């Protein structure tokens, strides 16, 4: 099972994704969908960081693990919020369809 934890604390944003979905090892569409969302988030944050939207940004990717942490500059926060909400929506859709393969924790985000 993949665990995805998305945290917002003021201007700090953190994403921890660990594990493998285990839906169909070796040819896993659930893992692929989770990875696509994670890579999309990392690329968009990297783009925004290049535009100066973050005070700090770090990320790490390894097989079965993605880590992203960023602190937003005040003027970048609306764009960052939009990106994170979009990615959260994607993870929620995956979790709804594959609850045995993705556990999602969302902290600091109001519905």
Separation of alpha carbons 109 and 80, rounded Å: 13
The mean pLDDT of 3-29, rounded to a whole number, is 93
Domains of the chain, CATH where assigned: 2-107 (3.30.70.1490)
Check residue 111 and give its pLDDT.
56
**What span, in angstroms and rounded, lies between the C-alpha atoms of 51 and 110?**
27
What's this model's pTM, rounded to 2 decimal places? Answer: 0.90
Among residues 40, 29, 39, the alpha carbon closest in space to that of 94 is found at: 29
**101 pLDDT tier (thresholds 50, 70, 90):** very high
How many C-beta atoms surround the C-beta of residue 34 within 10 A? 26
Decide if 2 contacts 100 (C-beta within 8 A): no
Which 3 state secondary structure label does DSSP give 97?
helix
* Token digits of residue 2: 């993949």
């Amino acid at each position: 099972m993949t665990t995805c934890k998305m945290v917002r604390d003021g201007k700090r944003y953190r994403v921890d994704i660990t594990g493998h979905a285990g839906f169909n090892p070796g040819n896993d569409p659930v893992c692929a969908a989770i990875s696509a969302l994670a890579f999309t988030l990392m690329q968009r944050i990297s783009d925004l960081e290049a535009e100066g939207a973050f005070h700090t940004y770090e990320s790490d990717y390894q097989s079965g693990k993605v880590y992203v942490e960023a602190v937003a500059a005040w003027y970048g926060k609306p764009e960052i919020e939009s990106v994170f909400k979009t990615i959260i929506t994607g993870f929620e859709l995956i979790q709804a369809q594959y609850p045995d393969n993705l556990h999602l924790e969302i902290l600091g985000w109001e519905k």
